[in-house]
Amino acid sequence: MSAQPPSPASEPENRPPLVVVREMKKYFPVTEGLIFERQIGSVRAVDGISFEIYPGETLGMVGESGCGKTTAGRTILGLYPITSGEVSISEIEVHKMNRPQALSLRRKAQMIFQDPYASLNPRWTVSAIIGEPIRIHRLAASEKERNERVHELMMLVGLSPRLINRFPHEFSGGQRQRIGVARALASNPEFIVCDEPISALDVSIQAQVVNLLEDLQEQFGLTYLFIAHDLSMVRHICNRVAVMYLGIIAELAGRDELYANPLHPYTQALLSAVPIPDPKKDRVRQRIILTGDVPSPLNPPSGCRFHPRCPIAQPQCAEKTPEWREVRPGHWVACHLV
Ligand code: SF4
């Protein structure tokens, strides 16, 4: 797929973007040999993606498992070194930051993880977990002040401060995710990557966590990259949505535009699987069933990466990489036939 230009600066408002990603690639080397290791290829987990995220907005990033969305989120935050391309967050150039800038970025940009249990140290109390970013970034003048701040954060995410000395295993899944949210908020960030924050939770709890994230966004003007594996999850929380497939972005548009008028065959297939609340409409609509698995990012297909699974693929699709084009204001897509 060709280089992806930025989405227009007018989307969704005229303020400069908080996060800018340009042609970002993240490859992982594949090696063989135990004693004399040699590289035999690369997993192209993220292969040249570009977009912006504006202050106060939520950009959804969706796609099947293995499409590179979690790697993209971690690379944007500098948790993985960037193979090539550029990323800036709040004017910190992540692709070439030094140690003081990395520390500053840790304060300004945080992550909420998919598995709240695995992401919390089981031997630490809630007080230590939420208090750690406050300690690292020296955001409290004394231990008393730090404890007060932990209390405040617990109340903010709907946890009773009476539980401050408990350990993660003493909480339910939803409560553990609230601890993760409080920890992410502790350093007063501007930007948070929410990496499938609700997919490990019971359906009954998912809406509560989404509502909490929305409330916090409103209260603190937070900016989110919200990663999810299906389009139904991001519908209510995102302003714009990027659909990822095998390391690239296939389509990017405003939420309403994308749901009303999906243009890429992959987006159309994903949307056709989203349940409709009206059973009559749900019965008659056509589902697009994709055949085959997502190909290996070690050796992605030529031309359009989606061509081996695309229901409307043409001979040219296997040969030529589709251009990334803005087909309507703010609606970008990479497909020869659109
Ligand atoms: Fe790709 Fe061709 Fe299908 Fe468009 S029609 S998504 S270019 S395979």
pLDDT tens-digit series, residues 268-313: 999 988 877 777 777 777 788 888 778 888 989 999 999 999 999 9
- Classify residue 153: in a domain, yes or no: no
pLDDT on residue 2: 44
- Classify residue 125: in a domain, yes or no: no
- Classify residue 149: in a domain, yes or no: no
- Give the least confident one: 121-130, 223-232, 271-280: 271-280
- Classify residue 177: in a domain, yes or no: no
Q: Ligand 1: which atom is nearest the Cα of residue 322?
A: 7
Closest among 108, 158, 160, 167 to 133, alpha carbons compared: 108
**38/277: higher pLDDT:** 38
As given in the structure block, the two tokens for residue 5 are 């230009």
Closest among 212, 107, 100 to 157, alpha carbons compared: 212
According to DSSP, the residues that pair with 249 across neighbouring strands are 244
Q: Is residue 99 helix, strand or coil?
A: helix
Domain encompassing residue 55: 8-90+190-334
What is the 8-class DSSP label of residue 23?
E
pTM score of the predicted model: 0.91
Question: In the chain, how long is the greatest CA-to-CA distance?
Answer: 68
Work out how many domains the chain is built from and give that number: 1
Backbone torsions φ then ψ of 164, nearest 5 degrees: -60, -30
pLDDT tens-digit series, residues 160-187: 999 999 999 999 999 999 999 999 999 9
Distance between CA atoms of residues 102 and 79, nearest Å: 10
pLDDT tens-digit series, residues 67-94: 999 999 999 999 999 999 999 999 899 9
Q: Ligand 1: which atom is nearest the Cα of residue 265?
A: 6
Pocket residues: Cβ below 6 A from ligand 1: 264-265, 304, 306-307, 310, 312-314, 317, 322, 335-337
Contacts of 174 (CB under 8 A, 6+ apart): 201, 202, 205, 208, 209
> 65 CA to middle of ligand 1, Å?
20
> 308 CA to middle of ligand 1, Å?
9
> 234 CA to middle of ligand 1, Å?
24
- Classify residue 131: in a domain, yes or no: no
- Classify residue 159: in a domain, yes or no: no
- Classify residue 224: in a domain, yes or no: yes
> 264 CA to middle of ligand 1, Å?
8
- What is the DSSP track for 247-258? TEEEEEEEHHHH
| Residue 12, domain CATH | 3.40.50.300
